[in-house]
Structure 1
Amino acid sequence: MLVSDLAQRHAVHFLKVRLRGTRSNREGLGAQVTVVLPDGRRILKVLDGKSGYLSQSDLPLYFGLADADHADAIDVRWPSGRRQSLVGPIKAGQTIEVIEQGLSR
């Protein structure tokens, strides 16, 4: 039996980002989401609705933050071409829902 006790040995910092499109499609499929870490690193994921052969991605998107206990920002580029930013600090260990706004490009 394989047992993972990583979370018990080391703090696991993460953010989950759930998208809700209003001008784009409802689930935000095709959106590009970037999480900006305090040290300047950027993690980019695309919400494509799939992750491999005969499989499907779990919504929301999951971002591992390594040793960071927060993110400085979350940037979303919606399929409609609109861009949206949430400026932090955004505390780790939570799910953030981003609802598409009517912002200009």
Structure 2
Amino acid sequence: MKAPTAKNYNIDIKYYIDSDNSYYVDTIKSRIDAAVTDYIQWQSGKVGRDIIPSELIRRVMEAGAKRVSVTSPIFTVVKDGKKEDGYQVELAQCTGKTITYGGVEHE
């Protein structure tokens, strides 16, 4: 198997918090930052793991977001060394992140 090459991606998200949780905004912001960091580590934790924005959304919402808009990443197939990939192996690598707090929203 060949050494993996980087499959670069960026994270650009905007999230909102339910107004019922406005008292906990600072805590939720910290949890969301941690969730994004965990996603980046998970994403690069296995060669050939496709870049899956749905997983990022899930983690951010579990951290307390009411809604998440994802500009980037988009779903991207990452080569995992199969014959049809020419035995090439890629590893997802985050090259930048923008996390924007959009405010509180009513349900």
Q: Which category describes the TM-score, using the shorter chain as reference length?
A: 0.3 to 0.5
Ranked by relative contact order (alpha carbons within 8 Å, sequence separation 6 or more), the top structure is: 2
Higher helix share: 2
Higher strand share: 1
- Give 1 or 2 for the bigger CA radius of gyration: 2
TM-score normalised by L of structure 2: 0.37
